[in-house]
Structure 1
Amino acid sequence: MGTLTLRPPSSGAAEPPACSSFRRLRCSGAPIVLLLALALVGCQDKAQSQAAAPPPPSVTVAQPVKRTVTDWDEFTGRFEAIEEVQVRARVGGFIDRVAFTDGAIVHAGDLLYIIDPRPFEAVALQAQGQLDDARAKEELAKRELDRGLTLVQTSAVSQQVVDQRRQALQAAHAAETQAEGTLKAAQLNVEFTHVLAPITGRVSRHLVTPGNLVQGSESGATLLTSIVSLDPIYIYFDVDEPTYQRNSKLWFQGRRPSSRDTANPVQVSLTGETKPSHEGKMDFLDNRLDVSTATLRSRAIIPNKDLSILPGQFGRVRLIGSAPYEALLIPDVAVATDQSRKIVFVVKDDNRVEARPVVLGPLDDGLRVIREGLNPEDHVIINGIQRARVGAKVTPIMSQTLGGDKTPPGATP
C-alpha cells in the first residue's frame, strides 16, 4: 500500500479539481491496477503453454490378416549331380586328338578323345586271321567225322577212329570259340580308342593334351576329364531329430503325408535370394539317423531347365511341416524384442499404446505368423514404432494394404 501524506491548505489559491482527482486515484487504485496486470500476464502464459504442447505422434496401424497357412520347415542343403562320371582311358596309348570344348554341354555318345588306334587295329587283324584258321580246321574236322561215320557202317574204319575224329571236331570248335573271343577283345580295344561321353551333361576341362601317353584300365586308368548331369539336380539336406519326430507324429495322426512314400513338395532359394526361386519334390529319406549329428539325411530333386544351378552350390530348402490351419499374420517389422520375449504394440480404443507379448510362428509370403497374443480385431502398429510409448496416446492411421477396412476409434482413415 502507498503512504498518504496530509498537508495543510496553502494560503494561496485553491487546488484545481483535476489534480485532486488524479491524486485520489493514484493513492487508492494503484494496487488494483497492479493485480489486474499480473492476472493478464498469467493467463497469457497459460494460453501460450497450451498452444505449444505437441499433438500425439502419428503411427500406422493395421489389423492382423487371417488366412489358411501351412508351416514350412527350413534347412540348409547342398546341390549334387544325379549322375557324375570320371572319364578314364580304357586302353593305353598316345592321345591323338581332344574333340570337345572345355566346359561345354556334351551328350551321351559324343566323341571326347581319340587314342592312337593303329596298334589295336593290327591286333584285331591278327585275331581275325586266327579265327579264320580255326573255322577252316573245324570245317575239316566236321568232314572227316562225317566220312568216318559212313565208313564205320561197312567196317572200313574202326569205331576208335570215329571217336578220335569226333574229339578232333570238338577241339576245332573250341579253338574257333577262343579265336572269336580274341577277335572281340581286339575289336573292343579298337573301339575304346575313341573315348565317348557316357552321359549327357557339362564336361570339365581336358586333363591330357594330344601327344601324351595314357594308361589303360589294366594298369591304373588315366583320368581324362569328368562330366556331371545338371537337369534335374539333387539337393541333399539333414533333418534334425525333433523335426523328424514331429513330422512322424503328424503322419501317424493322418495330418501330413510321409516323404518316404509321397513326393512332398519343396521350395528352394539360392544364396542371396530372399524368396524361393525353384520348386521340386522329395525323393529320398535315409534309413537311419547319423549317430554323430542326430540328423536324417534327406534328398529332393529339383528341375534345372536353365542349367543355372551347379553341383556344389548351397541352397535353403523349405519342406511342409504341418497341416493347413487358420492363423493371424502381421508384417515382420511390427515385431519388437523386449529382452527375451517378442512383443507388438497395439493401439487401444482410447488411442493409448499397449505392449502385447506374442508367440511367433514362421514367415508366410512375407508376413509373420502369430500363434498367441493377438486377436483379429486388434490394431497393431506396423509403422512408427519408434514414436510409440507404452501408455501414451498416438494418432493412429489405418493402413490401406494390410488388414480390414474398419477404422479404429479416433484413427484417420
Structure 2
Amino acid sequence: MNKKAATLLLAAVVIAGGALVYRDEVEPYTSRLLALVSSTAVPEAAAQLDEMPVPQVPVAEVVSRKVALSVEFTGHLEATKVVELRPRVGGAIDAVSVPEGGLVRQGQLLFQIDPRPFQAALDAAKAQLQQAAVLLDQAEIDFKRVETLAPKGTVSRKTFDDAQTARRQRQAQVEIAKASVAGAELDLSFTRVTAPIGGRVDRVLVSEGNLVAGGNAGAATLLTTIVSTDPLYVYFDIDEATYLEFVVRARAIESGKAAGKIPVQVGLMTDAGFPHVGEFDFLGNRVDRSTGTIRARAVVKNPDGQLAPGLFARVNLVTAEPVQTVLIDDQAIGIDQGNRYVLVLGTEDKAEYRPVELGPMVDGLRVVTAGLNSGEKIIVKGLVRPGMRVAPQMVSMLPDQAADENRAAAETQEARR
C-alpha cells in the first residue's frame, strides 16, 4: 500500500468515528435543547399575543335613505340678458352717473345728453302744430260758407270741391304737425339714457363733454354694457349615456305627464359641494356627432350676486327619481389594487373585507351602489387588517354629528386630565 492510499484510509476512519460520537453524545443533547426551547418559548409567545390589547376603532352604521342619483358636469355661467347701451340721439354728454362695475336698477338714469337742441326742436314742432290748427280753422270756415251757398247755386261746383279739398289738406297738416311734436318729444326723452334692464354695469367708455353719435346700433356710440345678474344661465354639455337616461324624464315633464321641475345644483370651483340651487331649463334638439354631447341649460338664482357671467361652474344634475340608497363616509373607503373596499364589523367584532361599488357624493357622504346593505356597520378609520378583532366605538356616519361627537370626546378626555 503506497503512502497516498494510506492517508485516504486514515481520513475515512476519522470521519466515521466522528459521526458515531455525534450520534451517541451530541445529538441527544441537541434534541433535548430544541425540545426545551419549544416547550417554553412558544407558550410564552402565544400568551403575549393573547395579552395584546384589542384596538379601539370608530364604527358607524351605514346611512340608508332615499337619494336622487345625479351626474356632475362642468359648465359656464352666462347672463340671461346682455345690453350694449347706445344713445338713440346724438349730442354732447352733459352728465355721467353710472357706477362703474356696480349694480343699476331698470330705469335708472345713467347718461344725460345736452337736451337744449331737442327742446328747441320740440318748441318749433309745437309752433307748427298751432299754425296748422289755425289754418284748419280757416279752412273749416271757408268750407261751411261754400257748403251753405252751394244748394242755392251761388257758387260753382268747382268752388265747392276746392273748399272741401283745402279743408282735408289742413286736417292732414295738423296730423303731420302732431306727429312732429310726438317725434320731438321722443327725441328729447332720449337725451336721458336710462338702464333698460337691471344688472351690473361694465366700465364707462365716454365721459362728460364728449360728443356721441345716435341712431342705428352700428353707427351709435357704445356707452357701456349691462348684464343681468339674477337669475343666471348655466350652460353644460350632457354625454350621450346620461342623455338617454335623462331624456325620458325631461320629456315627460315638458309634455305635462310628470309634475314638477328637474332640480339642478350648481357650485363654483372653490365651493364645497353645490350651494346654489336652480332648475333645468333647456335641452338641445340634437347630439353633436364630433363630441357625442348635447347642450343643456339651467336657470340658477343669484340673489347675493356671488355668481358672475363667464365663471366656470360645476353642475349636479338629478337624472332619476329618488331611490333607497346606502351612503358612507369617504374616509372609510380603502383602495386595493384599484378596487374600493370597506371593513365591515362582522361576528365576534372581527373586521371583514367587503368590496364595494361607489357613486357620487351626496351631502358629504359617498353613495354605495353595490356591496353594502342597510343596517350594516363599518369601520370608519383606523389601522385594521381583515380578520382582526376590534373594540368598536359607535359614532355617527353623518359628518356634522361625527364632528360634534369627536369634539365632545376630546373635551371629556381633556377634563379627565
TM-score by length of structure 2 reads 0.77
Question: Is the 8 Å Cα contact of residues 150 and 157 (structure 2) preserved in structure 1?
Answer: yes
Whole-Å separation in 2 of the counterparts to 1:278 and 1:288: 28
Deviating more after overlay: 284-293 vs 150-159? 284-293
Contact 1:248/1:258 (8 A) holds in 2: no
Q: 1:400 is matched with which residue?
A: 395
Aligned Cα root-mean-square deviation (Å): 3.2
Secondary structure in structure 2 of the residue aligned to 1:266: strand
Show the counterpart of 2:274. Answer: 276
Residue of structure 1 in register with 2:227 after alignment: 228
Hey, which bits of structure 1, 4+ residues long, moved more than 6 A?
Answer: 33-42
Q: Which AA in structure 1 matches 2:107?
A: G
- Matches of 1:279 and 1:338, distance apart in 2: 37
Q: CA deviation at 1:81?
A: 2.2
Give, in angstroms, the shift of residue 174 of structure 1: 1.8
* Inter-CA distance 136–38: structure 2 relative to 1 (3 Å threshold): closer
More helix by share: 2
- 3-state DSSP class of the match of 1:383? coil
Q: For the pair shown, which has the larger CA radius of gyration, 1 or 2?
A: 1
Counterpart Cα distance in 1 of 2:384 and 2:162: 114
> SS at 1:223's partner residue?
coil
Of 379, 384, 391, which residue of structure 2 is paired with 1:388?
384
Which whole-Å deviations, capped at 9, do the CAs of 1:51-78 have from their partners, x for residues lacking one?
A: 6656665544444332222212222232
Matched, 1:305 2:303: yes
Change in CA separation of 1:121 and 1:42 when aligned onto 2, cut-off 3 Å: same
1:257-272 equivalent positions in 2, closer than 5 A = 258=253, 262-272=260-270
Residue pairs, 1:46-195, within 5 angstroms: 46=42, 49-50=45-46, 53=49, 59-195=57-193
Partner of 1:241: 240
In structure 2, distance between residues paired with 1:393 and 1:248: 48
Counterpart of 2:326, as a letter, is L
- Retained in 2: the 8 A contact 1:70–1:320? yes
Pairing of 1:25-36 with structure 2 (within 5 A)? none
Q: Structure 1's 38 and 269: CA in aligned 2 closer, same or farther, altered over 3 A?
A: closer
Identity %: 40
For the 8 Å contact 1:68–1:325, the answer to whether it is kept is yes
Structure 2 regions of 5+ residues with no counterpart?
1-28, 399-417
* SS of structure 2 residue aligned to 1:343: strand
Kindly indicate whether the alpha-carbon contact (under 8 Å) linking 2:262 and 2:280 is maintained by their aligned counterparts in 1. yes
User: Aligned partners of 1:154 and 1:105: how far apart in 2?
Assistant: 76
After TM superposition, the structure 1 stretch with the greater mean CA deviation from structure 2, 98-107 or 293-302, is 293-302
Q: Count how many residue pairs are aligned between Structure 1 and Structure 2.
A: 365
Pairing of 1:210-359 with structure 2 (within 5 A): 210-218=208-216, 220-249=219-248, 258=253, 262-349=260-347, 353-359=351-357
TM-score, structure 1 normalization: 0.78
8 Å CA contact 1:266, 1:300 repeated in 2: yes
